[in-house]
Structure 1
Amino acid sequence: MEIAGLVLAAGAGRRYGMPKALVSWQGSLLVEHVAAIPAAAGLSRTIVVVGAEAARVRAAAPGLAYVENPAWATGMASSLRAGLAALDGTPATAAVILLVDMPGVTAAAVRRVAAFASPAALVMGGYAGRRSHPVLLGRDHWAGVAAAATGDRGARPYLREHAADVLVVPVEDVADDADLDVPEVSGRA
C-alpha cells in the first residue's frame, strides 16, 4: 500500500511576518524540515503545497516535489484541495497531512498514524485528549474532504462530520503539535 505525505506550506504567515515555509528552523528551513518527516517515516512520496512566495520557497528549498495553489490566500482548504488533487493521479491509497508550522510532529508520530492506513481510513494523532496532526486521510475520503473544506478549516469539518469513523492514535509521547504563530512565541526567528 502506498502512503503519501502532503505538506501544506502555502500561507503568507501574516502573524509571523513572513511565509513560515521560509523560516529557519534548527539549521534548515521549516519547509525542508517538515517535508523530510514523511520520508523519514517511510512514506513513498511527499508533495509540498506552496502559494505565497512560491518562487522564493522553491528557490530556497530545491529538490522537493511542489504543487502550487494559486488560491492560497483563501485559506488552508484550497491548499488541501490542491494537494489532494495532485495525489489523485498517483497510486497512493492514503495521505498523511502535515502543516509546515508544526515542526514538532515527528516521523515516529507519522509511522504510528500510517500503520492504520487504508483507502477507508481516517486517523488523527492524539495529544492527551486532543486530536491533531498528523492526520491520515484514506483515498475514499479525499473527494468528501475536498468538498467540505472551507477557509482555514481544512479537513476539520469532514472529520467532525465523520467523528465516529476517526481513529485517534496517541502520539504525545513522541511528538509535539504546537504551531508557530509568531516569532516571539516560537523563539526561532
Structure 2
Amino acid sequence: MKIGTIILAAGASTRMGGEPKQLLTYKGQSLIRRITDTALALQTGPVIVVLGANRERIAPELASLPITLVDNEAWQTGMASSLKMGLAALYITNKDIDAVLILLTDQPLVSVGLLQFMLETYVSENKGIVACRYDDQLGVPALFDRKYIEQMLQLEGDKGAKWVIIKHRQDCAEVPFEAGAIDLDSKRDVELFALAQTGATPS
C-alpha cells in the first residue's frame, strides 16, 4: 500500500506576531522538522511539504531530507490553495498512490504511533476517510482514499480537509487523539503548552 503525505506549512503565523510557528521548537526540534521526520518514519510513500510565507527561513530546516518542497505563492488565498498544490505535486509523479495523509505543523504531539494506527484503521475499517477526533470535532491528521483526491482539488479559499470530512461523514472512521486539540496558533498557546510540559501553572 502506497500512502502519500502532504504537510501544510504555508501560513504566515499572523497570530504569532510574524514569527513563523513552523520554527517553534519542541524537544529540541523545530515543529516543521519534527512533523516531517515523523512523516518520513512511516516509510509508506512520498512526502510533500507545502511552504509559502517565510519560505526562505523555513526551507533550510528541511535541507537534505528525501522530500519534495512545493512553493505556494498563493498561500494568502487560504488553505485550499496549499492543499491543491500539494496534491498536484504528489499526484503528478505518483499516480499509483492508494491514499493521502494530511498533516499540519502546529500539532506538536502527533506521533509515528498515531499515524500508524490511522493506517491500520484505514485497512481494517474499510472506510474512505480516517480522521482524528478531539475537542468534539473531527479533523487532521486525516487520511483520504485516492477517490477523494479529485474532490479536494476542487476546494477553494479556506475550505480544507475538514470540509471533505464533514461532507462524507458516513465514510469516515474515527481515531481518538485528544492531544490534537493542542494547536500552537498564538503566543499564548505556546506559553501554555510550554508550561504544561514543565508542570507549572499558568499565570
Q: TM-score scaled to structure 2, two decimals?
A: 0.82
The CA distance in 1 between the partners of 2:105 and 2:79, in whole Å, is 11
Per-residue Cα deviation, 1:125-146 (whole angstroms, up to 9, x for no partner): 1237431221001111111022
- The answer to whether the aligner puts 1:143 opposite 2:174 as a matched pair is no
Partner secondary structure for residue 15 of structure 2: coil
Check if 1:180 corresponds to 2:181: no
Amino acid at match of 2:185: D
- Cα deviation, residue 80, structure 1: 0.6
Give the distance between the partners of 2:42 and 2:29, measured in 1 at CA: 19
Alignment match, 2:102:
97
1:37 corresponds to 2:42: no
Q: Distance in 2 between matches of 1:117 and 1:55?
A: 36
Aligned amino acid, residue 92 of structure 1: I
RMSD value, Cα: 2.1
Q: How many angstroms apart in 1 are the aligned matches of 2:15 and 2:135?
A: 27
Structure 2, unmatched stretches of 5+, are 195-203
Deviation string for 1:108-165 (max 9, x for gaps)? 1111111244797211012374312210011111110221x23233122222211111
1:108 aligns with 2:113: yes
2:166 corresponds in structure 1 to 160
Residue in 1 aligned with 2:22?
Answer: 21
TM-score for both structures, normalised by structure 1? 0.87
CA deviation vs aligned residue, 1:43-97 (integer Å, no higher than 9, x gap):
3231111001112211233124211111111111111111111110213211111
Equivalent residue letter for 2:131: M
Aligned 8 A contact 2:128 2:144 in 1 = yes
Task: In structure 2, give the amino acid aligned to 1:133.
Answer: V
Give aligned pairs, total: 185
